[in-house]
Structures are given as C-alpha cells and as structure tokens.
Amino acid sequence: MHMKSFDLSSFNFQFTRVVIVEDHNMVADGFERIVNDSENFRVIGKAYTAAGCMELLEAAPCDVVLLDVGLPDVQGIDLCPQIKEKYPHIKVLILTSYGEMFTIKRALDAGADGYLMKSCTHEELHEGIRTVASGERYLCERVNLTIKK
C-alpha cells in the first residue's frame, strides 16, 4: 500500500492541511493522532513511500508535509526538492530520528522548511507545523543544540 487518502468533504479547510510521509504504519498513525489533537491541524492523507507521496499531493492539496528521511524507495531528503519544485507553496517539515549535523544540513540545503526529531514532544510537533505553515523556518530544540555545537 503506497498511500491512504481520506474523504475530504468532512474537513473544514480553515485548518492547516497536513500530509504524513512515513514508511512505518504505526508511527504514521501515532503522528496522525498527535497532529489531529490540535484544533488547528488536520491530517488529510498518509503516504508510505515517495511515490505514494507524490500521488497523494496530486490528489489532495495540502499546506505542510511531515516527511521522514528513511523511505523505502527514495530518501526523504532527495524527495524534498521534488516536492518544492512541483508544489512551491507546500512547506516541508522533516520528521526523523536522524540528528547528525550532516543530515540536518543536507535536509535544509534540499529546501526543507523545518527539521524535527521523532523524539520531540507533542507541543514541539504542533509548534513546528504552525511555524513552517506561517512561512518561517523551524528547528526543534535538539536540532538547535546540535547546530550550535
């Protein structure tokens, strides 16, 4: 299964529309619950591969993509510029367990609007989505500490 889409007719589009791109179903489901806990955000779809992500973005316009680095078909960092080129209005927030400076720099150089560790708090996830959706860059606290070293 490459992607899962939802009936969009029930969504009120005053929400920030979020797509989750994560190859582990249970992880994607957990992030979906956390995102939907906010009254300001709604997950409108999940994709489990880079190919599924591009299919989903074609079918379901969104505001923010939560993008994992480790996807089975294409690295998330390599997918980021493709998303930004085809959908320049979409904000990409990297959501990963990779916290090395090399990976952070590669993601930001690839056009990511923010970088968030999977060990983040619910509040950090919500703040990250809100920040990139408003057009600003977001780096979680752990990433900020890594960059300042």
Contact indicator for 131, 138 with CB cutoff of 8 Å:
yes
9: pLDDT strictly greater than 60 = no
* Contacting residues for 89 by C-beta, under 8 A, at least 6 apart: 63
* 147 or 68, greater pLDDT: 68
Average pLDDT, the chain: 91
d(CA 128, CA 116): 7
User: pTM here?
Assistant: 0.88
d(CA 132, CA 115): 10
pLDDT at 132: 98
Name the CATH topology of 3-148. Answer: Rossmann fold (3.40.50)
Contact indicator for 80, 107 with CB cutoff of 8 Å:
yes
Q: With the C-alpha atoms ordered 114, 133, 121, 51, is the resulting torsion angle positive or negative?
A: negative
Q: Supply φ then ψ for residue 75, to 5 degrees.
A: -65, 140
The pLDDT tens digits for 41-73 are: 999 999 999 999 999 999 988 999 999 999 999
Q: Supply φ then ψ for residue 36, to 5 degrees.
A: -70, -15
The CA radius of gyration of the chain, in Å to the nearest whole number, is 14
pLDDT at 10: 52
Instruction: Kindly state the helix (H) or strand (E) to which residue 123 belongs, with its residue range.
Output: helix 122-133
